[in-house]
């Protein structure tokens, strides 16, 4: 009887986590769409907290995102907690990440590096699109979904980063707008 109770408790926890993500989708997403074609370009609207993917100029899907802890303004220096703005590309993939999986963004570009150097500072780097931190607690999910918590990266949930990881093409252009 005790094992049945623990089994039912585990199932209800799994269902409640899935419902929480479904509620997020219902509250913020357009109709859920399964990605079935490659993603060959991405546009991020920081002010709307949206990442929109495209296949051959046709919109594929919109994702709700979290940004760096200082979401307004363009990333200029290492440690400023801002998310970059401008044209970049997806230049790497990492499935052995501290944040589930990630897609690397080619920040800093030449302009970013030149500006930071002119100020005697480092532009920083290691900007990614990633999921939740590994070993996070279920109680942290609402925080991740409803706040800007990264050090400058773009975050989605783990299921979404799995989808992006699978479908985003090599050197996919990404435009990050204010």
**Helix or strand run (H / E) with residue 110:** helix 110-118
Tokens 């269902």 label which residue?
A: 15
Q: How far apart are CA 13 and CA 15, in angstroms?
A: 5
pTM: 0.80
Q: Delimit the domains of the chain by residue range.
A: 33-177
Q: How far apart are CA 127 and CA 138, in angstroms?
A: 25
**Range in 60-69, 80-89, 128-137, 167-176 with the lowest mean pLDDT:** 128-137
Tokens 């990440």 label which residue?
A: 97
**Range in 26-40, 54-68, 86-100 with the lowest mean pLDDT:** 26-40
Model pLDDT for residues 86-138, shown as the tens digit of each residue: 999 999 998 888 888 999 999 999 999 999 999 999 999 999 999 988 887 77
Between 3.90.650.10, 3.40.50.300, 3.40.50.1860, 2.40.440.10, what CATH number should domain 33-177 receive?
A: 2.40.440.10
Backbone angles phi, psi at 61, to 5 degrees: -160, 150
Closest CA to 162 of 66, 92, 93: 93
């Amino acid at each position: 009887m005790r094992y049945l109770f623990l089994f039912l408790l585990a199932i209800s926890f799994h269902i409640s986590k899935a419902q929480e993500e479904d509620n997020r989708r219902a509250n913020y997403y357009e109709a859920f769409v399964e990605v079935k074609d490659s993603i060959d370009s991405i546009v991020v609207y920081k002010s709307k907290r949206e990442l929109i993917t495209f296949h051959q100029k046709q919109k594929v899907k919109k994702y709700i995102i979290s940004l760096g802890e200082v979401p307004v303004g363009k990333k200029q220096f290492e440690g400023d907690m801002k998310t970059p703005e401008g044209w970049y590309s997806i230049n790497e993939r990492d499935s052995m990440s501290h944040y589930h999986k990630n897609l690397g963004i080619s920040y800093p570009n030449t302009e970013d590096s030149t500006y930071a150097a002119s100020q005697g500072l480092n532009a920083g780097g290691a900007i990614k699109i990633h999921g939740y931190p590994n070993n996070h607690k279920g109680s942290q999910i609402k925080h991740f979904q409803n706040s800007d918590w990264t050090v400058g990266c773009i975050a989605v949930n783990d299921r979404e980063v799995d989808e992006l990881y699978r479908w985003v093409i090599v050197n996919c252009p990404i435009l990050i707008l204010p």
